[in-house]
Amino acid sequence: METLLTDDETEARRVLGKVKWFDPVKGFGFVISDDGGADILLHANVLRNFGQSSVADQARIEIRVQQTERGVQATEVLRIEPPEGASNLPLADFEEIDPEIMNAAPLEPARVKWFDKAKGFGFANVFGRSEDVFVHVEVLRRSGLADLQPGEALAIRVIEGKRGRMATEVHAWESALSQDD
């Protein structure tokens, strides 16, 4: 027997929660609402519409959701924040660098050259520059991301570090544009 949903049940509503897990290879993951209830499906297309191809497990997220015949699904990502405590983890690569220098670096437009989550790093190129910028997986996590795809557009803060040019912060291109407003 088919269940029909009322207009109230299909109307989108805002939800705050945490990412339970997200797998870019599978193309989906789940969010746990702060208010409880069933897990909320987060499809890769909804995340891509926000400008990201991945999101870190345990990241705080604000989404619009809608009840469907198959359960509650995210229809729009409104905001993503890195997992709690992620920015407090020390990175050996940045130990001797003044935090003021890292914070003062401008956000620069870049594209992912390659990234290997299993190895824990990859490289990006700032537009108009030929040298590679080292991107560590922990920098991604601090920024609320879990993985990067070749060719993905980013905004990154870059400093000269132990490994040459290094990203200290990574943002999806679209979310970085909204930070400048």
- Average pLDDT value for residue range 57-84: 91
Assess whether 48 and 111 both reside in one domain. Answer: no
Assess whether 147 and 92 both reside in one domain. Answer: yes
| Cα–Cα distance for residue pair 147/133, rounded to 1 Å | 16
| Cα–Cα distance for residue pair 21/176, rounded to 1 Å | 23
Q: What is the per-residue DSSP string for 68-90?
A: ETTEEEEEEEEEEEPPTTGGGS-
pLDDT at residue number 86:
55
| Cα–Cα distance for residue pair 79/174, rounded to 1 Å | 11
* 1 domain-assigned: no
pLDDT at residue number 2:
44
Assess whether 99 and 22 both reside in one domain. Answer: no
Assess whether 17 and 49 both reside in one domain. Answer: yes
Assess whether 91 and 174 both reside in one domain. Answer: yes
Assess whether 73 and 92 both reside in one domain. Answer: no
pTM: 0.67
12-54 pLDDT, tens digit per residue, is 899 999 999 998 889 999 999 999 999 999 999 999 888 888 8
Q: The tokens of 122 are what?
A: 């990859």
